[in-house]
């Protein structure tokens, strides 16, 4: 049955036919209720056959998935009719505007880097589906689309099961095999699936391996005229290697594809997440052998372009260590001083597109990096880099002079030098173009850049000089802020500068992204919802202005994370990693977001990858400590924080180390680190945790003093600090002040929820405050809400247990406390918590805290 344009199927109006396959016919339609385009697939089935409940449940489970690389299945409709005719099962899906991989395969073997990008996104989609218990069963080129922007979309997730359960026809052609217990396309089925018809996550991994093989070679590993012959070949013949047909494909990629297609499931990647990690690792190391070519064949000689001189020497390239971009040295007026930060920011964003290159930014807060006579080779070594880029500026705003140098760690003679002068835009264009070319000529890139990558390596973010100067001023202000109060003032000043840049050039994507990030910082400092709105709006505009900038996706992802929009943050972080796989910043953000989602192992893997890329950067180790601490792995958190404090002995790192020590039971050492932190900087967070240490030690007057100082230093005291004040006032028998503090904490948390309604920490805190104020019904509702959002979080479980204990519900309190302790919550905290006094005589409580007291 075919449907012409204009046909109505319930609320869907058919626009045009998209194609026909073995499973059914596909149409582009318009949802008349929402005004959006959808794809409708009408499955071929015998009239009157119902879908099984299990198949419908799986399809609808797939429909609940929210992932940038999965085409959403909106609905599965049974018995949808038009003109009284039974259509059988009808699937309503996201309409994807792009090309299927089948059409790309037909064009011949693909570029290795492009295949890796597709493979990483595909594996990411499968890993997300598998985490939700959904198996695809029919991964093949026809079920994978690539949008015009390069995003991979996996189609028909959960559909193969529907097709299998709704058909009684067994097809013997090698293209499709369906029927009771069957689903999929034999050419992409694993040997065990072909012989036993069972499907699990490893079958999807095998199919992804076959697809990668086909993209790289433009042929399938096994082909046969019928299913039986195909099954015999797939189970008995040796699995071919990609390198048999593509000798230029590097051995690591050959190995990954071969392992994905291993005949024995025990030798195959155990999950799509493992496959993705292997592809990311290969891409980050060097996803392509470097051919014996030299792009800049003539640049070894001096050339003159206007006022430019250029010289370069080339020996054997350094090992694939990162390249450091040092803070620019400026000797001139205020504008010239600011331009250095703008040049460095642009250069870092551009070089994130360079294949296989890891960028390290030297800090302007380190005095040794700001001397005109700085030792560049030593700076490279100190930053764990193989090379360092040095820019030194002089002149005036109208005529800027720049001297550029690239040195290799351990060698005195520069590998490249050049100079130029002109206005801000001319100099920025020269810096971008010449350094990109120099890096290609040195030979440290993993492969020859594609035309698109080469263009992105040389971008100038704006052609308006005044806009660039304003942007550079904002970047300079943010970069040089150190203490907490200064950071707030710096963000406010930077916002003015970024607004000026955007007024001059409304399409200036980097300025929009920087403004979004600065607004996000102001929200963190002030908790004013207006700043959150500003951050979201500027993030949207930045993405519209430049969807291909890793820096833009990184900044936008950070804003989403700060505002609690975790799925949005996850999408942007993954895109930043895809666009710049060797960016430790991107992997660090992705690790943070995965931790927010409760995926501790995935978060640790991303942070370890960030540390591999940039081992001597304190923030990577500090973030790993935070992720381990959040997962209840306190000793591992202490180890990571100690390393961060060694690399950067700052107040923030001593503060974090103190927190991990406190959680691991070492209260005295924790107090020492907190004291050291507040001596270095008047940080409200450090005072707050110092107060908690005193409180845990029964030193209530000292705890009160520390918490009052934390509240004084904060522009707006946090709800947590106010709740802590309520607790200490309670211990000091100042009941009126206690109730005032609990009420203020509850109201403050409610205000934060208006910005981020899914902030589970604020929801749990409201539950606690309501319980302490005697509002037990409201406390129970909030506790249930928090538990529904994060059922595996040990802190949430613990707070729920406290709410139940305060309400006299000992049975549930003990049950949730047991689970919180099993997930790593410190038993010592539970044992000494005054809010759990009602449980202390319960033998189960005594047993729980005693069992973990050692």
d(CA 465, CA 530): 30
The answer to whether 244 and 259 have CB atoms below 8 angstroms apart is: no
Residue closest to 519 by CA, chosen among 488, 475, 548, 549: 488
Q: What is the DSSP letter of 106?
A: T
Taking the domain 758-854, which CATH number applies?
Answer: 1.25.40
d(CA 328, CA 316): 27
pLDDT < 50 stretches in the chain: 46-55, 160, 162-182, 286-319, 365, 367, 482-483, 852-854
The number of C-alpha atoms within 13 Å of 276 and in the hemisphere containing its C-beta is 23
Q: Which CATH entry fits the domain spanning 682-750: 3.40.50.920, 1.10.10.10, 1.25.40.10, 3.30.470.20?
A: 1.25.40.10
Q: Is 303-460 CATH 3.40.50.10070?
A: yes
The rounded Cα 236 to chain-centroid distance in angstroms is 41
What length does the chain have?
854
Residue 585 is predicted with a pLDDT of 86
Q: State whether residue 74 is helix, strand or coil.
A: strand
Which superfamily is assigned to 8-94 in CATH? Phosphorylase Kinase; domain 1 (3.30.200.20)
- β-bridge partners, 90: 42, 77
What does R_g of the chain's alpha carbons equal in angstroms? 30
Backbone dihedral angles phi then psi of residue 400, each to the nearest 5 degrees = -100, 135
- β-bridge partners, 27: 17, 40
Domain made up of 98-285: CATH architecture: Orthogonal Bundle (1.10)
DSSP per-residue string spanning 247-289: TTS-HHHHHHHHHHT-SSGGGS-SSHHHHHHHHHHHHHH-SSP
d(CA 204, CA 198): 12
Look up tokens 């806009």; give the residue: 467
User: Packing angle between helix 509-526 and helix 550-562, nearest 10 degrees?
Assistant: 20
The residue ranges of every structural domain in the chain are 8-94, 98-285, 303-460, 463-541, 547-605, 682-750, 758-854
Residue 312 is predicted with a pLDDT of 43
Backbone dihedral angles phi then psi of residue 478, each to the nearest 5 degrees = -65, -35
Residue 588 is predicted with a pLDDT of 93
Domain made up of 547-605: CATH architecture: Alpha Horseshoe (1.25)
| 683 labelled catalytic | no
- Strand 12-20 relative to strand 24-31: parallel, antiparallel, unpaired? antiparallel
pLDDT one-digit tens code per residue, 210-251: 999 999 999 999 877 777 777 777 777 888 999 888 888 888
Catalytic option among 31, 124, 138, 833: 138
682-750 and 758-854 in the same fold:
yes
């Amino acid at each position: 049955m075919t449907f012409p344009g204009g046909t109505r199927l319930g609320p869907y109006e058919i626009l045009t036919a998209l194609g026909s396959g073995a499973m059914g016919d596909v149409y582009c339609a318009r949802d008349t209720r929402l005004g959006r385009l959808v794809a409708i697939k009408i499955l071929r089935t015998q009239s009157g056959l119902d879908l099984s409940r299990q198949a419908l449940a799986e399809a609808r489970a797939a429909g609940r998935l929210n992932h940038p690389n999965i085409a959403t299945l909106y609905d599965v409709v049974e018995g949808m009719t038009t003109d009284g005719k039974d259509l059988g099962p009808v699937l309503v899906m996201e309409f994807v505007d792009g090309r299927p991989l089948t059409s790309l395969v037909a064009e011949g073997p693909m570029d290795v880097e492009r295949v890796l990008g597709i493979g990483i996104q595909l594996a990411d989609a499968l890993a997300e589906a598998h985490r939700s218990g959904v198996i695809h069963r029919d991964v093949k080129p026809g079920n994978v689309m690539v949008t015009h922007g390069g995003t991979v979309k996996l189609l028909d997730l959960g559909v193969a099961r529907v097709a299998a359960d709704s058909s009684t026809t067994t097809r013997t052609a090698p293209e499709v095999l369906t029927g009771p217990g069957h689903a999929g396309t034999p050419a992409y089925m694993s040997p065990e699936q072909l012989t036993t018809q069972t499907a699990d996550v490893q079958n999807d991994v095998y199919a992804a391996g076959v697809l990668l093989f086909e993209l790289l070679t433009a042929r399938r590993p096994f082909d046969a005229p019928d299913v039986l012959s195909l099954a015999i070949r797939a189970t008995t013949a040796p699995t071919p290697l990609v390198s048999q047909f593509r000798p230029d494909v590097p051995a690591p990629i050959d190995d990954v594809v071969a392992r994905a297609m291993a005949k024995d499931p025990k030798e195959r990647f155990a999950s799509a997440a493992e496959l993705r990690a292997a592809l990311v690792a290969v891409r980050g190391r060097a996803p392509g052998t470097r051919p014996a070519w030299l792009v800049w064949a003539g640049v070894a000689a001096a050339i003159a372009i206007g006022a430019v001189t250029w010289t370069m020497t080339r020996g054997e390239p350094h090992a694939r260590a990162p390249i450091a971009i040092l803070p620019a040295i400026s000797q001139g007026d205020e504008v010239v001083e600011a331009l250095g930060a703008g040049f460095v920011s642009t250069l870092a964003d551009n070089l994130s597109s360079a294949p296989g290159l890891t960028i390290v930014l030297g800090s302007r807060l380190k005095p040794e990096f700001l001397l005109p006579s700085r030792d560049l080779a030593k700076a490279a070594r100190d930053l764990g880099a193989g090379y360092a880029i040095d820019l030194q500026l002089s002149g005036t705003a109208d005529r800027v002079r720049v001297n550029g140098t690239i040195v290799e760690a351990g060698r005195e003679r520069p590998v490249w030098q050049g100079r130029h002068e002109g206005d801000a835009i001319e100099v920025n264009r020269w810096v971008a173009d010449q350094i990109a070319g120099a890096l290609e000529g040195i030979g440290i890139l993993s492969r020859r850049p594609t035309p698109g990558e080469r263009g992105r390596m040389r971008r100038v973010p704006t052609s308006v000089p005044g806009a660039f100067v304003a942007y550079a001023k904002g970047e300079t202000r943010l970069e040089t802020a150190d203490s907490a109060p200064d950071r707030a003032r710096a963000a406010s000043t930077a916002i003015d500068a970024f607004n000026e840049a955007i007024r001059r050039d409304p399409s200036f994507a980097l300025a929009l992204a920087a403004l979004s990030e600065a607004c996000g910082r102001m929200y963190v400092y002030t908790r004013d919802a207006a700043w959150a709105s500003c951050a979201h709006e500027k993030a949207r505009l930045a993405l519209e202005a430049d969807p291909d900038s890793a820096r833009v996706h990184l900044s936008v992802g950070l804003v989403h994370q700060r505002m609690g929009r975790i799925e949005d943050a996850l999408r942007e972080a993954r895109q930043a990693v895809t666009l710049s796989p060797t960016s430790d910043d991107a992997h660090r953000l992705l690790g943070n977001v995965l931790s927010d989602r409760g995926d501790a192992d995935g978060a640790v893997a991303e942070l370890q990858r960030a540390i591999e890329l940039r081992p001597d950067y304190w923030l990577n180790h500090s973030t790993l400590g935070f992720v381990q601490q959040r997962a209840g792995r306190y000793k591992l958190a202490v180890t990571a924080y100690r390393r961060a404090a060694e690399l950067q002995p700052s107040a923030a790192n001593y503060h974090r180390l103190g927190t991990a020590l406190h959680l691991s039971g070492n209260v005295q050492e924790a107090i020492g680190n907190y004291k050291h932190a507040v001596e270095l900087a008047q940080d409200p967070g450090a005072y707050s945790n110092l107060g908690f240490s005193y409180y845990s030690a029964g030193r209530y007057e000292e705890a009160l003093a520390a918490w009052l100082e934390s509240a004084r230093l904060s522009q707006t005291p946090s709800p947590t600090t106010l709740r802590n004040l309520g607790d200490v006032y309670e211990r000091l028998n100042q009941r009126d002040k206690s109730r005032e503090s609990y009420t203020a904490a509850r109201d403050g948390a409610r205000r934060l929820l208006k910005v981020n309604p899914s902030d589970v920490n604020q929801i749990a805190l409201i539950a606690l405050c309501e319980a302490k104020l005697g509002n037990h019904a409201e406390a129970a509702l909030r506790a249930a809400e928090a538990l529904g959002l994060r059922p595996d979080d040990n802190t949430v479980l613990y707070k729920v247990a406290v709410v139940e204990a305060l309400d006299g519900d000992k049975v549930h309190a003990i049950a949730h406390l047991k689970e919180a302790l099993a997930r790593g919550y410190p038993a010592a905290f539970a044992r000494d918590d005054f809010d759990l006094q009602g449980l202390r005589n319960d033998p189960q409580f005594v047993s729980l805290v005693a069992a973990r007291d050692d």
